[in-house]
Amino acid sequence: RHTTSKLSAYEDLQTIKSMGFRGEALASMTYVGHVTVTTITEGQLHGYRVSYRDGVMENDPKPCAAVKGTQVMVENLFYNMVARRKTLQNSNDDYPKIVDFISRFAVHHINVNFSCRKHGANRADVHSGSTSSRLDAIRNVYGASVVRDLMEIQVSDENAVDEIFKMDGFISNANYVAKKTTMILFINDRLVDCTSLKRATEFVYSAILPQASKPFIYMSINLPPEHVDVNIHPTKKEVSLLNQERIIEKIKDAIEEKLMNCNNTRIFQTQALNSSALTQANTRKDKGTEVSTPTGEKSQKIPVSQMVRTDPRDPSGRLHTYWQGQTSNLEKKSGLVAVRNIVRSRRNPKDAGDLSSRHELVTEIDYNLHPGLFDIVKNCTYVGVADEVFALIQHNTLLYLVNVVNVSKELMYQQALCRFGNFNAIQLSEPAPLLELLTMALKDDESMSDVNEKEKLEIAEVNTEILKENAEMINEYFSIHIDQGGNLTRLPVVLDQYTPDMDRLPEFMLTLGNDIAWDVEKECFRTAAAAIGNFYALHPPILPNPSGKGIRLYKKNKDSMESAGQADNDLTSTGE
């Protein structure tokens, strides 16, 4: 709490760049809430979890399964301060402020994933993924209608050699219409307010925009730390700048120049009159819907059946709220919705899996890529779950029925090849003996019903020895760790924050022992990745909403595939 590596001398306070001291912040939270910290560093086999109360660690850190990074969870906020807790009774007042705060950070830190969801809500109010484009971040948070009317702006010192002040951002043009000013201002990556800067920009817009319209402004200003005074307000919400008047004047001039250039071409959109009589008359005359277009262009009529009312950039599962009123207990625990929401982009090291066989398999995936299916998957909107096997997605005006088992199996197969040699690992709480797992799998295998128990035990022992002989290879490439005693201790993290169904673990071990071509490198990697894909895929009855006839088709296809000796499944989907 009272130590830091940020300061070594008193003079360092003049140039400090951080937002504060996290040790002091964490300690403060432990006095007003129950704090639990879970953390794991890259390269560790497992993470650690520890709880704090009143600034003191309750127990020693305990090992646990975790994903890379640190998670701080604060529960029962102000449990010991009745007066403060009463001020938090009305969440309707505080939650919009939290959403606005998270939204601003999501726009600025485009390489960080942000998510904010109210307790009990079906979807997140803020859900932004990491991206390389600032406009994409603004689109994810504030919508496409805002991005459409934004202009990029950059301001810096005239002398590039001694450049001290630099600003870049986006401002709304003359076509943007809003009732309230939205100004997102970051100075040296610190979210702040600057009343004088906001007043100056609003003054520029008031001379150009209609009287009732307010602008949208995002600015990121970089200055030497010694030129920023963050101690003029107790909350550090406001700052004071050295040469503040000159900086504001340069920004104001740049905004004015941008607006004057775009003011020559302004787009006006027509709006239908809100008259019931006129609406009824148009309904009798036209069977289609008229789309508003800029003045001077001929309006286009699009039939209602061809209108696209969904956007793939909308939060996933929005339509599912209306399509399915009740959610089964199984869906609340796990399922397609939960898995889809935790999928995040992950960049692997470029030197990982530098083997020709692995590259050939990845190249085959790229070569066999179907452009049409790729576009459907990339730009689809999730609708909901049809039954145990099928889900509904919408692309443009078409509704598709997707086999979730096959899609998830292909996803896990490709993930296994992409993360080849660079997996994080799931540490099992207790080592699982291979011999017991294989024996269980053989007992459940209907094709082995005619084999007696002694022969099954011999088969299990042979497969155990095969896996022990190849333990070093599968651990190095796939993070499947088998110790010298023949016990399974670790499994790979194929998809972040997702754990497979452990009831299928015996079948997975039997597949590794029986179906892997250990002597041929490329086939070995292919069959191992296929086995991992099958194990981590979503199989019934994990999928939610157990109704319908999809399970019959799944069982029928599964039996026919096993009889044909197929080792993997391809991505399949149908649409009507």
> What tens digit of pLDDT does each residue of 534-549 get?
999 988 765 444 444 4
CA–CA distances in Å: residue 161 to residues 164, 245, 569 = 9, 22, 60
pLDDT at 265 over 60: no
Which pLDDT score, from 0 to 100, does residue 37 have?
93
Q: Could you read off the pLDDT of 445-462 as tens digits, one per residue?
A: 777 777 788 888 888 899
The closest alpha carbon to 532, from 560, 503, 493, 563, belongs to: 493
Radius of gyration of the chain (CA): 29
Whether pLDDT at 107 is above 60:
yes
Q: In the prediction, which pLDDT does 62 show?
A: 93
For the chain, the structural domain boundaries read: 1-89, 149-262, 325-575
Answer yes or no: same fold for 1-89 and 149-262: no
180, exposed or middle or buried, with CB in 10 Å at 0-12, 13-18, 19+? exposed
**Higher-confidence position of 566 and 229:** 229
CATH homologous superfamily of 1-89 equals Histidine kinase-like ATPase, C-terminal domain (3.30.565.10)
User: Angle, nearest 10°, between helix axes 134-142 and 91-108?
Assistant: 160
* pLDDT for the residue numbered 378: 86
For 112-169, what is each residue's pLDDT tens digit?
888 898 888 888 888 887 788 899 999 989 988 899 999 999 998 766 555 688 999 9
Among 140, 557, 141, 563, smallest CA distance to 390 is for 557
Mean pLDDT of 493-505: 86
Out of 207-211, 372-376, 557-561, which region has the weakest mean confidence (pLDDT)? 557-561
**According to the model, what pLDDT value does residue 206 have?**
83
Helices marked H in 263-355:
276-285, 318-323, 329-333, 336-341
Confidence class for position 102, pLDDT limits 50, 70, 90: very high
Q: Rounded to an integer, what distance in angstroms lies between the CA atom of residue 275 and that of residue 281?
A: 10
Report residue 560's pLDDT band, with 50, 70 and 90 as the boundaries: low
CA–CA dist 252, 258 (Å, integer): 10
Average pLDDT, the chain: 77
Tokens of 14: 């003049």
* Beta-carbon contacts of residue 271 (< 8 Å; ≥ 6 apart): 292
Q: What is the pLDDT of residues 174-198, one digit of tens each?
A: 888 888 889 999 998 889 988 889 9
Instruction: Report residue 9's pLDDT band, with 50, 70 and 90 as the boundaries.
Output: confident
The tens digit of pLDDT for each residue in 223-238 reads: 888 888 877 777 778 8
In the predicted model, is pLDDT for residue 295 greater than 90? Answer: no
| Architecture of the domain made up of 149-262 | 2-Layer Sandwich (3.30)
E-strand spans in 117-159? 126-128, 150-156
Span 356-409, pLDDT tens digits: 888 888 888 888 888 888 888 888 888 888 877 888 899 888 889 999 889 999
Indicate the pLDDT class of residue 312, thresholds 50, 70 and 90.
Answer: low
Backbone φ and ψ for 401, nearest 5 degrees, come out as -105, 115
Q: What is the pLDDT of residue 162?
A: 58
Distance from the Cα of residue 17 to its chain's centroid = 28
Return the percentage of the chain with pLDDT > 90, whole number: 19
- Name the least confident of 34-43, 150-159, 463-472: 150-159
In this prediction, residues 518-544 reach a mean pLDDT of 84
Instruction: Name the pLDDT band for 292 (thresholds 50, 70, 90).
Output: very low
What's the distance, CA 363 to chain centroid? 26
